[in-house]
Structure 1
Amino acid sequence: MKNKLKILFTLLVILASIANAQKGKIRGVVADSSSGEALPFCNVFIEELNTGASADEKGYFIISAIPPNRTYNLLVSYVGYESKKVKVFVAKNKITELKINLVPVSIYLHTIEKIGEKVIQSNETDIGLDRISIQSLETIPQGVETDIFRSLQYVAGVNTTGDISARYNVRGGASNQNLVLLDNVTIYNPFHAFGIFSAIDPEMINGIEFFKGGFPAENGGRLSSIMRITSKEGNKFNYGAKASGSFLTAKGFVEGPIPYGSFFVSGRRSHTRSILKKFLNGSEAPFDFYDIAFSINYRNTDPNFIDDSKWILSGFFSNDETNNNNPFRENFKWTNNLLSLRRFQVYSSPLYSELNISVSNFKGEVIPKLSDARAKRNEVNDFTLRMDFNYIFDNRDELGVG
């Protein structure tokens, strides 16, 4: 009897494999038509099948188990962009590759009246996940300038630690229980001016995933929350530069194409201390800071090298100093230095892999001068070698190994 059950189970597995093998798949990437920048977390929908998928933080998506030998209407949508409908023919036992570009548009809304109602939905495993785009950050009321950590105050379950601080608590946890990742590299001190402002310039951000609970296994290490920030790659079609300023900082951003890739460089520096006094009830605020970020990405075009691979070299550097004019007051200094090399690989099967080699360094120093303070120096060096694989099954389940 047991042998018969084993044989029956084996036959069912083989038949299921054969059935899935006869179906097709659609895989692609969605990007901005004007810059070539990936559009993370956009929606892709097959009208005839009433099914679809969401793109990941790199703009990639895959839809499996599609009945073959038919032409389908693929509807792609993203907030702030014109929706696009694409006709796609799906062949048997093949992966159809797509590159879809969306055109940005301006959105005008009339007055909206919203009436509260109870919506019954199926249970979701990512109920603690908030995806935040740079477009939504720009629409949130700000103080001196756009700040990603101050914007979290509008997310349910997040509270600020004080009226003047950008530090935050999640679901009653402490502010040092939050993990901040920039391109999967840990930033040990993601704040300027003792926590009043964020050290990450929104100009360099492409997308944010904020986990308030149910953390993925690959991003453990904190008790309260995980913020995963994806930086831009730069304009792949045109060179561009812009400069801006606020009552606190002056900053610039340069981007453009390079052979088989693109780049960007951003920088920001404080230029005045007067606005900081507003946060400290008129007290002296001798803070000076700057931050610099860059990214260079190269997409392989030589089939004899590595098929469908992309290399990204990125860095982030920030520096804070307090310079008291009083020789009997101590000074403080702290820095962040991040450098990473990543390779994203797309295989002929529904398999992705990402190699990440990174270094993260933090230094904090107390300079006593003539005060009674003791000289202190703290340093953290973090070297990471990481390899992740993601395989997507026909039933849309995903297996991640790393």
Structure 2
Amino acid sequence: MTIQVVIIGAGIVGAAVSHQVARIGAKVRVLDVVGQPGQGAATRSTWAWLNANKKHPKHYRDLNLAGLQRWKAEWPALVHSCGSLLFDDDDEASLSDPVYPGQHVGPEQLRQLEPFVSEEMGDRGAHLFPQEAWVDPQVVCREMLSKAKANGADVLLGPTHQVMGLLTRTEEHVARVTGVVTADGTTHPADVVVVAAGAETMPLAALAGVQVPLLHKPAVVAITSPLTGADGLPRQLTRHLISTAKVFVWQRPDGSLMLGDTRAHEDGSTAWGESLLQRAAELVPELVVAGARVERVEVAYRPWPKDGHPIIGPSSTCRGLYIATMHSGMTLAPEVARLVAAELRHWDVAAGVARGSEAELLEAQAVLRPYRLDRDFEEGARRAAYAWK
């Protein structure tokens, strides 16, 4: 039987899931209030930094590594393998990981890698992770949704397609979701509703009485205008994704820079953006000479589960409701989408879960077991999922 799947969200997770689920022959419909793929809050403002660095425990590191590898295997033309440089990093253990190796680079090598880094910072050396990469979030979302459409998916974007309600009924004292209603009054029937709506996952799931424990952890990023040389072409002052204790710096292919740090707050003021640029200029003084200026400051409302780890899988209290929300969504999306598609390929509509003994399904369920909605989030929150300072 062909199942009907409604996917709420056309950001990176929703786009990746729609691509993979359409490939298995499901009848897919993607709905998003935002009119352009990847322009929602979290995906639009993401660093799009593909990495498995400093993520704990091992099963979570391995899932991120699988995501990074799947990006390179399935979407090689969209992956910029730039590598990352971490300054002020005293985590020597991360350099000796045989599965995810890094290396210490001294001042001389560092100046070859990043000639515009300040002398003071260059003298400190840094840790290099050459396998890490970057993707353009809007480009990859468009490409994934395009491939989903080629496999028969409907992609409906814009304010009239905002999901306003989940249709539910009670069967044998258990709730079942049967579809969604959008702002234009349209009913979209579904056997499975996948909520992949970033920070909006929590209020959407609550419409069906399902609690998804997300923390409020916004991030603020500043984007500069593109730097150009005398020839009018982009002038690249950095070559890697760079992080220090004070600032993250990434120069995109068009010459613009994305700046941020690890603090969670909602100060999207021009003053905060200028403070990020000032810190970046301490790292790369040539930014001042090149006339770098902040073009806009954005507050990114990130989906951040209470214990830091993804929430992936069916609700046990509302049949047919499937949650797919996570931090590190850019890295994880293509691998998570493959696992979600494996479950939906073997979906038991009546039970509201995937069932079977096929190797594909058993492998997916084994990987996803730590990330189910009914886990102990309080216990998980006592352990750090990320070792970033």
Alignment TM class, shorter chain as reference? under 0.3
TM-score normalized by structure 2?
A: 0.21
TM-score normalized by structure 1?
A: 0.20
Higher strand share: 1
Greater relative CO (CA pairs within 8 A, separation 6+): 2
Larger Rg belongs to = 1
